[in-house]
Amino acid sequence: MPTISLASFLALADSLAQQARTISDAFTSGAIAAGEPISGTGMGAGAANNKVTITGANDIDVEAALSLAFQSAIAPGSLLSSLYGGRLAALDRHVGGIGSFLSTNNARVDPHFRDLLWRVPAAQVFPPVVDPLATFSVTGAGAGTFTKSAAIDTTQYGPAALQLVTTAAIGASTITATLTLQKLDGTTATKTVTIPNATANGATFAVDGGAIAYVAVTAITIAGGTAGDAFKVRSLLERTIAL
């Protein structure tokens, strides 16, 4: 039987994640007291978008597998388990297991979606921004101080794309930064980033073309540079979720 496209699946997953985040924020702010039913605030729009995503697939098999679970309205007084249990179960059955579907497609979901469905492996959950992962302060041409500040928690999340950001105006000498990057499986790769001379503070440079592949920076060396130059490396949010 044909399966929902990855793009449509992620649209559903991101919408469900945003609905879960809305509920979580309501509990945190005290808008919903512990043990109270969900009011449905903001959930109606998400449910409507879910229906459009499913019918927009233009595939009768996809609609047959998912429309019944997603067609019911979210009414005030609904409980979290009744809101999402059937929808997640239908989606899981349809794709032959959400974790394996994501792994096969090298795709990741927001942590709030994982909070709804704990069967999602950590590798298939995209992490929040870690800023910085590492910093480097130039002390002279070809020299400086590297500091590993943090790493993505691989017990909770998968890899991310990385970005180099200048944290001081760059002097008269171009910097070639060589970064040793740790992958999810523990292996490392070496990538270079060129920072032109006279680059302004706050300029950004993609690392490895923006590949979503890394969890830490374990070393940085440079060629060139001027004392007082500085930069950091941070992870990027894979995508912004929406209802």
Give the tens place of pLDDT for each residue, 203-227. 999 999 999 999 999 999 999 999 9
Question: Which residue, 171, 188, 167, 187, is CA-closest to 179?
Answer: 188
The CA dihedral of 214, 216, 218, 224, to the nearest 10 degrees, is 70
Percentage of residues in the chain with pLDDT exceeding 70? 84
pLDDT for res 161: 98
Mind listing the pLDDT tens digit for each residue in 9-35?
999 999 989 888 887 766 565 555 544
pLDDT for res 48: 75
Is it the case that residue 87 has pLDDT exceeding 90? no
pLDDT for res 36: 46
Mind listing the pLDDT tens digit for each residue in 151-201?
999 999 999 999 999 999 999 999 999 999 999 999 999 999 999 999 999
Q: Which helix (H) or strand (E) element contains residue 146? A: strand 143-148
> DSSP letter at 9?
H
Mind listing the pLDDT tens digit for each residue in 120-136?
999 999 999 999 999 99
Between 114 and 82, the more confident residue is 114
Sequence ranges of the domains in the chain: 6-124, 134-235
pLDDT for res 73: 55
Structure tokens at 10: 């992620």
**Pairwise CA distance, residues 215 & 186, whole Å:** 9
pLDDT for res 95: 94
**Pairwise CA distance, residues 162 & 131, whole Å:** 10
Contact between 125 and 158 under an 8 Å Cβ cutoff? The reply is: yes
pLDDT for res 82: 59
Mean model confidence pLDDT for the chain: 87
End-to-end CA distance of the chain: 28
Distance of CA 182 to the CA centre of its chain: 17
3-state secondary structure of 234: strand
pLDDT for res 61: 74
Is it the case that residue 110 has pLDDT exceeding 90? yes
Looking at the chain, the number of H-run helices and the number of E-run strands are 6, 8
Between 150 and 40, the more confident residue is 150
Is it the case that residue 42 has pLDDT exceeding 70? no
